[in-house]
Amino acid sequence: MQIDKEVVLITGASSGMGRATAIYLADRGYVVYAGSRTPQKIFDIQSDNILPIKLDVTDTHSLKTAISNMPKIDILINNAGYGLVSTVEELDENEMKAQFDVNVFGVLRVCKAVIPIMRMQQSGTIINISSFLGKIGLPLLTMYNSSKYAVEGITDSLRYELRDFGIRVHSIMPGFFDTEFARSNLVANLDTFDKNSPYAKIVSSLAPNIVEQINNGNDVQEMAGLIYDIIRDDNFPARTTAGEKASKFIPMRRELSDEDFERRVREYYSL
């Protein structure tokens, strides 16, 4: 590997946005360390510029081992995550902790491990893959929503902390994209989806709607291209949206009062 090439670390790179971005950046000359709990799923795209590594964002030892084998890190893309579908009343405490362990503490663990490297280099770019649901709420997705709200807060604070070291921090708030997310990265609480749940009505109307929107969402190449644009532009905004749903709801959220926005969401999703 040529050390003069820029080195990228992507978490959650075995499918969806992470996999597409790994291919996109590798094709443009970056060396990509594609992290996953199941790196064998990335072996089919392995090349001189795509290096699959075992990386579990909930395991500090796994993280340290993965990073110790990298010559440097110029760009970090915090992409690993999943969505828990559950009401708060029926939420299991272990499910609650697991959601934040991956989506929030996972981001913090990886940043904590990578920042010293970037600080010594006096340069670096961190891109946190958030969600438009990090700015708006939806029923059944309280834990996912709140985890992405947290990612937005992490991004805001890190921008202040790391600015003097030449490290840029950004977030992308995607809407619904056609990835494996709905098929592999949505975890359903069994009580919530039981036909006798007091929330059966909202589950039966909203859950299929959300899954359909994800499966018919934007192409992941849009995300890969956007990440590339952020990497190349030192003056890129702190956060940006991607996809049709995000570009619709985020500006609306800024413009309307809480009550008016809630009314719009209720109408849109027939809540």
Catalytic residues: 14, 130, 144, 148
Q: Which two tokens stand for residue 250?
A: 């985020």
From CA 77, how far away is CA 114, in angstroms rounded?
A: 11
Question: How many helices (DSSP H) and strands (DSSP E) are in the chain?
Answer: 10, 9
> Looking only at Cα atoms, what is the longest distance across the chain?
60
Burial (CB count within 10 angstroms: exposed 0-12, middle 13-18, buried 19+), residue 165: middle
Q: Which two tokens stand for residue 230?
A: 């952020």
3 state DSSP class of 98: helix
Amino acid at 27: D
From CA 53, how far away is CA 151, in angstroms rounded?
A: 24
Residues 6+ apart with CB under 8 A from 205: 269, 270, 271
- CA of 10: how far to CAs of 44, 55, 196, 211, in Å? 17, 10, 41, 25
From CA 57, how far away is CA 9, in angstroms rounded?
A: 12
Write out the H or E segment, with its range, that includes residue 166.
none
Beta bridge partners of 76: 9, 126
- C-alpha angle 221-17-114 in degrees, rounded to nearest 5: 125
